[in-house]
Copies of this chain bind each other. A is one copy, B any other.
């Protein structure tokens, strides 16, 4: 077999980078569980009719075919999921009778899309979703809860500062109704293009496709310009002089989210009422979220979500939900490839037990086992090379300590190979400082700050 080459869009990590990903994922999981979110994993495949319910994503689906099917073109009728929301909605319907509502779940899994790969967009990627789903009616306070949980999870991570943009579908739809737009849904779609097209082009579209007059179009653009880190957005909206019941409900809901998230705001995490935010997918019915990473606005959003009052319904019962998804691959891979994040070692081992000679391997194994018994990740040297070579072995992997077994007891000496300090040690008593127990994430703060500018 000749040397294989990577598959475009299917990124894989080297061990040290994988350790960074694992630590980030562990942290997200820990925060989600502290808030009572239960882990869920759904199968990788869904029936095609489920995946194609929202036609717009159909082009991205990978369909599965059994290799040995008689007819080569016969598909299984299944495709790989392209997000975690569609499978979750299906899971809730399928298991509704056996779930307790409100049902808080997190899901950290891979998803697949057959789109053209570019930085931040992969054909296989990992995302972390949290959602709360209820039967019949979901109290509004959950819109605040999911935002707070994600804010808490992301704030503590060694990532560039994050910005959570929040808007409300009722607010913008109410506004568009209030100015007399014939089809508010079309206006939402056009306003959504503001991050791709110049304002003038969007204004033109509002007139041609949105069937608005120029004054109405300018009102819509004025609304989209409003952005505020506190509840003053409400006054700015009202200053535009449009009134509609739905608009008032939307202003009230958005106010609750912005107020509720005040405690989560820091220099690592900002929450912004951002009235241009619409989100393309049409199942959102109230709050909408998008997450941006400072210095990496070129990636567009690295997360998003919102409230969907009827994503799952079996005709008799409706299951409203609210949730946020965070793109682990989309965030992490650009940071890793720029060297802005890295791990200080490529193995879990905190200690390498040296080997005096092949005959004393059992003694080295025993030292290792005694360290492991107290939770210290340890490996034993592969072969009885000169000690200098064994130290180099540890260095290349970033293992901070080398243990030299004693001659006639299990005791010996342990060397911190970073400082060179070497001390007598008992494998039943010695332990490294807590921060050396596991691999650490190292951030290149300087470079991160430059990126932020």
Contacts and interface: CB of A to CB of B under 8 A. Distances in A.
A15 B38 contact: yes
Contacts of A34: 348, 372, 375-378
B36 A15 contact: no
A299 interface: no
Interface string A334-349: 0000000000001111
B36 A4 contact: no
B36 A347 contact: yes
Q: Chain A: interface residue count, which band?
A: 35 or more
A104 to B, nearest CB: 7
Contacts of A33: 348, 377
Contact of A7 (B22, B43, B102, B312): B43
A30 to B, nearest CB: 9
A10 B315 CA distance: 25
A45 interface: yes
Given A1-B315, A7-B45, A10-B45, 19 more contacts: A3-B93, A3-B314, A12-B91, A18-B39, A22-B39, A34-B348, A34-B376, A34-B377, A36-B377, A36-B378, A44-B112, A44-B124, A59-B66, A59-B67, A60-B67, A61-B67, A67-B114, A100-B347, A134-B382
- Top 6 A-B pairs, shortest CB-CB distance: A36-B379, A33-B348, A36-B349, A73-B73, A10-B43, A59-B68
20 contacts: A1-B93, A2-B314, A3-B93, A3-B94, A7-B43, A7-B78, A12-B41, A12-B43, A12-B91, A15-B40, A34-B376, A36-B349, A38-B346, A44-B112, A60-B67, A62-B66, A63-B67, A66-B114, A100-B397, A104-B379
Interface of A: 1-7, 10-15, 18-19, 22, 33-45, 47-48, 50, 53, 58-68, 72-73, 75-76, 78-80, 90-91, 93-96, 98-100, 102-105, 110, 112, 114, 124, 134, 139, 141, 312-315, 346-349, 361, 372, 375-379, 382-383, 396-397
